[in-house]
């Protein structure tokens, strides 16, 4: 597995210009188990887990003007502008002591993907795609009820629709480059992680 994911040559003014990093994109629908598996990868393989959603939620609670805009967009089930998310990801990567990152839930669409590569000068080493049937994801989301205001059936269905329309082209793009590892995420957690481990090993 190549570790030099990007030497950031093309990155004009990227905050990451002096840092060589390995980036793995973790994609999958809401409720496909990305967060659980990322926690396992962190424990076993020493990656730093950056969740685009968590970074956006933290920013939204920070009271900044970006935060208010993010809050309204998330409530509507809309995708936050790429630049905002990329800046948050970049900042987190620069502030981290680590040089191996799992980026979870991003890029959300083709525009995100292109913007991430041009802003940071980084291409992912590979993409981990958690493939899970919609009925299963719906069942999991309604069951977890973590008090997130976007975990109700109406918003969930909106999120599925947005996810399908926007994320699949990203997966297809990287698939054409031979960078996608597709994981059957409907299986029990341990079996899913066994498949994940095989990819990292």
Cα–Cα distance between 108 and 87 in angstroms, integer?
15
Say what the pLDDT of residue 48 is.
97
Residue 172 resides in a domain: yes
pLDDT (tens digit per residue) in 69-128 = 988 887 888 878 888 899 999 999 999 999 999 999 899 889 999 999 999 999 999 999
- Across 102-122, b (16+ Cβ under 10 Å) vs e yields bbbbbbbbeebbebbbebbbb
Residue 187 in marked binding region: yes
- Residue 177 burial (CB count, 10 A): 11
Residue 140 in marked binding region: no
Residue 28 in marked binding region: no
Cα–Cα distance between 109 and 35 in angstroms, integer?
19
Residue 107 resides in a domain: yes
Say what the pLDDT of residue 185 is.
95
- Partners of 27 in the beta sheet? 129
Residue 42 resides in a domain: yes
Say what the pLDDT of residue 77 is.
80
Residue 77 in marked binding region: no
* DSSP E strand boundaries for the chain: 22-28, 48-51, 100-104, 126-131, 180-184
Query: Can you read off the two tokens belonging to residue 122?
Result: 């980084």
Where in the sequence is the domain holding 192, given as residue range(s)?
Answer: 22-200
Say what the pLDDT of residue 73 is.
86
Residue 79 in marked binding region: yes
Say what the pLDDT of residue 5 is.
40
Residue 6 resides in a domain: no
Residue 106 in marked binding region: yes
Residue 64 resides in a domain: yes
Residue 33 in marked binding region: yes
Question: What sign has the CA pseudo-torsion 145, 149, 155, 158?
Answer: negative
Phi, psi of 25 (to 5 degrees): -85, 135
Say what the pLDDT of residue 63 is.
84
Query: Can you read off the two tokens belonging to residue 70?
Result: 């993010």
pLDDT confidence tier of residue 165, bands split at 50, 70 and 90: confident
Residue 31 in marked binding region: yes
Residue 74 in marked binding region: no
Residue 159 in marked binding region: yes
Residue 16 resides in a domain: no
Say what the pLDDT of residue 105 is.
84
Domain of 152, CATH number, reads 3.40.50.300
Residue 40 resides in a domain: yes
Residue 17 resides in a domain: no
Q: What is the number of structural domains in the chain?
A: 1
């Amino acid at each position: 597995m190549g570790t030099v994911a990007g030497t950031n040559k093309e990155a004009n003014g990227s905050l990451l210009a002096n840092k060589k990093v390995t980036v793995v994109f973790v994609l999958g629908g809401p409720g496909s188990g990305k967060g659980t598996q990322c926690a396992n990868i962190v424990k076993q393989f020493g990656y730093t887990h950056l969740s685009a959603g968590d970074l956006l939620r933290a920013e939204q609670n920070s009271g900044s003007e970006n935060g208010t805009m993010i809050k309204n967009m998330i409530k509507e089930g809309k995708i936050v502008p790429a630049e905002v998310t990329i800046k948050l990801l970049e900042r987190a990567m620069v502030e981290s002591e680590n040089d191996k990152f799992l980026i979870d839930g991003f890029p959300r669409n083709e525009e995100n993907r292109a913007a991430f590569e041009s802003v940071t000068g980084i291409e992912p080493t590979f993409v981990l795609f958690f493939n899970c049937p919609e009925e299963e994801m719906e069942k999991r989301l309604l069951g977890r009820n973590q008090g997130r205001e976007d975990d109700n059936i109406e918003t969930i269905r909106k999120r599925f629709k947005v996810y399908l329309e926007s994320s699949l082209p990203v997966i297809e793009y990287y698939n054409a480059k031979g960078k996608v590892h597709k994981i059957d995420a409907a299986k029990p957690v341990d079996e899913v992680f066994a498949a994940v481990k095989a990819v990292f090993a």
